[in-house]
Structure 1
Amino acid sequence: MPAVKKTAAKSPAKKAAGAAPGISPHDLAPAPVVLLAGSEEALADRALTALLTRMRGLDPSFERTDVAAAGYQKGQLATWTSPSLFDERSLVLVDGVDAASEAFVEDVLEYLRAPADSVVLVLRHRGGNRAKKVLDAARTVRGVAEVSCQPLKRDQDKVDLVVSDVRRARRSIDVEAARALVAALGSDLGELAAAVDQLLTDTEGPLTEDAVHRYHGGRREASGFEVADAAVEGREGQALVLLRHAEATGVPAVVVVAALASRLRQLAKVAGAGRGRPADLARELGMAPWLVEKAQREVRGLSPEGMAEAILAVAAADHAVKGGGAHAEHALERAVRVVAAARR
């Protein structure tokens, strides 16, 4: 039987707004059915916070019921959504719809045909095909509110999120400051949002790049391909700095090695293909034209001997980071140094 938690909400009231499909997490308002679809917990959390704030504005004493779809037993939804004696407002949050039983799916599909007027049913689905028919049916309900909680993969989307959060607080932020913040904390939206809140609390006036560096200057997230690009281009110092940042922010060593190996394979393929137009070589090698053009520029500064040493060093690092050596960290650093030296 799923755990059920009921609480009476208490908080200062705020003005409510109408609900609409495809809305921002911050703008979520009460609706007969609310969908939080996607695996990004930070977006789902802020959407739920906004919804609860609006609910308190309508009725500070509304009843909130938190339940889990896993382990659901037939008929429980009717109990959770049944109107109270005086028809007070209530919110039912069903977590883990993506792990729901067939019994839950059957009951919720029946409920969605005629949702209760005084109930806000929140369905949290993290992705996958299981119980997807629930989402499809919920989207047909009149007045449904849906918030996309899909992960933000593009840095620009994260920058836009930072700028939006700052503007919502009636403050401003430089674009370069937002980019610096994303560079430091962009892999975790929850941590990124917390950093914005902290900066807003600890500073006054516009948020600048200097302010971001003052609080987060010692941290930068770096991908394996950033390390590889710097090394292949002969920028040893920057490649090593990026390697340190990658290690500090949890990028696995095998990912960095894989990026180095991938870049060297690209260079070897282009070098072996000889001269030619990037578009022609791209078709022959199965690579993007811009990537061929970039590799053509890079191989001009590489000798066959330097390429061979780089490949051997990366192979040794690959062996070490996969458990074949006691000093994997040193092997990876040496590989970066050798790749960068080959360029010089």
Structure 2
Amino acid sequence: MTAFGSALLVTGSEQLLASRAVDGRRRTAETEQPGADINRINALELGTSMLSEVVGGSLFSSHIIAIIDDVGATPPDVVDQLIATAKDPGDDLCLILVHEGGNKGKGLIDKLKKAKIETVAVAAPKAWELPKFCQQEARRLKVGLDQEAANALVSAVGTDLRALVSALSQLADDAGGETIDAKLVQRYFAGRADVTSFAVADAVLAGNTSLALERLRWALNSGAAPVLVTSAMAGAFRGMGKYLDAQGNRMNDYDLARQIGLPPWKLKDYSRTSRNWQQAGISASIKLIALADADVKGAATNAEYALEKMVLGVLSHRRH
């Protein structure tokens, strides 16, 4: 199947994967017809005559690669013409329609799918799938990434795909063709302010007062915004609450991680530190974290004091 004479619908909210799907089809079309014109427009700007210009040939090239973004915003009076064009693009047109997901333009999307337009659905991997995504991305970069390193990378960078891909690209350059291991990941991200915020939350979950306060001071001295600390604490304690709720369920680690919304390796951390907590303590802690979050966003004059007060208050609710 050639790129020309075809239409592709890319739908989903994950922008990185959507961009890759669009770029993949565009590159295929450019390989087939190096001189093809590329016309890209937001669907909101389409009118009947504008659609004809976008998908039609020019004086300089008979072949057109037409990319229409946010296709759900297509004006109603253009919908039928767009569907007709997608059904029969003609041999000289490569049509790519981009939909950001959701219910916007649902009627148009349903009609395109009913017409059996080729569709690529993109969705962000779930939290427990992110290490696997990182390993796949590493293979794309032609570098090795073991499971421990993949886990460490997600812990350090978080769940944003663009941030993970960027980090992997930098790590691949630094690795010099060698397999990326957990030590390289930890060394590379040791000084990141947002990572030190998660380290504070880990120490509090572990019930280690001196380490938690030490890491808090290190985080603030490293430039971590106070709101990053409260955010990391909130995420950690919401996760622990979910873990305690699901602890009695009879399911394997993968299913338990999926239910809670955590990567499977994180279950080991929660399993190890859960002995420090009961649901009452978690509920009280989340209230303290919410108060501290309001304080660091302007309710208090001294954010550092508010964070220390939060850490000590939360730790007072751990099981003894």
- TM-score normalised by structure 2 residue count: 0.71
Residue 320 in structure 1 maps to residue 292 in structure 2 = no
Offset at residue 94 of structure 1 (A): 0.7
**Using the alignment, how far apart are the partners of 2:305 and 2:107 within structure 1?**
52
How big is each residue's C-alpha offset from its partner over 1:150-190, in whole Å with a ceiling of 9 and x where there is no partner?
A: 23341x32222221122234432211112222222233322
CA contact (8 A) 2:86 2:95 kept: no
Offset at residue 47 of structure 1 (A): 2.1
CA contact (8 A) 1:43 1:149 kept: yes
Offset at residue 208 of structure 1 (A): 2.0
**Using the alignment, how far apart are the partners of 1:209 and 1:307 within structure 2?**
31
1:186 to 137, 146, 158: 158
CA contact (8 A) 1:35 1:145 kept: yes
Offset at residue 59 of structure 1 (A): 1.5
**Using the alignment, how far apart are the partners of 2:103 and 2:164 within structure 1?**
30
Higher-Rg structure is 1
Could you tell me which residue of structure 2 aligns to residue 217 of structure 1?
A: 190
Could you tell me which residue of structure 2 aligns to residue 205 of structure 1?
A: 178
Ranges in structure 1 where 5+ consecutive residues have no aligned partner: 1-17, 20-28, 271-277, 280-287
Q: Secondary structure at the match of 1:61?
A: coil
Q: Which amino acid aligns with 1:179?
A: N
**Using the alignment, how far apart are the partners of 1:48 and 1:265 within structure 2?**
40
Offset at residue 65 of structure 1 (A): 0.4
Could you tell me which residue of structure 2 aligns to residue 49 of structure 1?
A: 23
Could you tell me which residue of structure 2 aligns to residue 337 of structure 1?
A: 312
**Using the alignment, how far apart are the partners of 1:56 and 1:68 within structure 2?**
21
Q: Which amino acid aligns with 1:75?
A: S
- TM-score normalised by structure 1 residue count: 0.67
Ranges in structure 2 where 5+ consecutive residues have no aligned partner: 250-259, 261-270
Q: Per residue, is there more helix in 1 or in 2?
A: 2
1:173 to 127, 145, 149: 145
CA contact (8 A) 1:234 1:342 kept: no
Q: State the superposition RMSD in angstroms.
A: 4.5
**Using the alignment, how far apart are the partners of 1:220 and 1:76 within structure 2?**
48
Could you tell me which residue of structure 1 aligns to residue 122 of structure 2?
A: 149
How big is each residue's C-alpha offset from its partner over 1:198-226, in whole Å with a ceiling of 9 and x where there is no partner?
A: 33333222222233233333338569999
**Using the alignment, how far apart are the partners of 1:145 and 1:299 within structure 2?**
51
Offset at residue 260 of structure 1 (A): 8.1
Change (3 A) 1:331 1:33: same
Offset at residue 111 of structure 1 (A): 2.3
Mapping 1:156-167, distance limit 5 Å: 156-167=128-139
Offset at residue 67 of structure 1 (A): 0.9
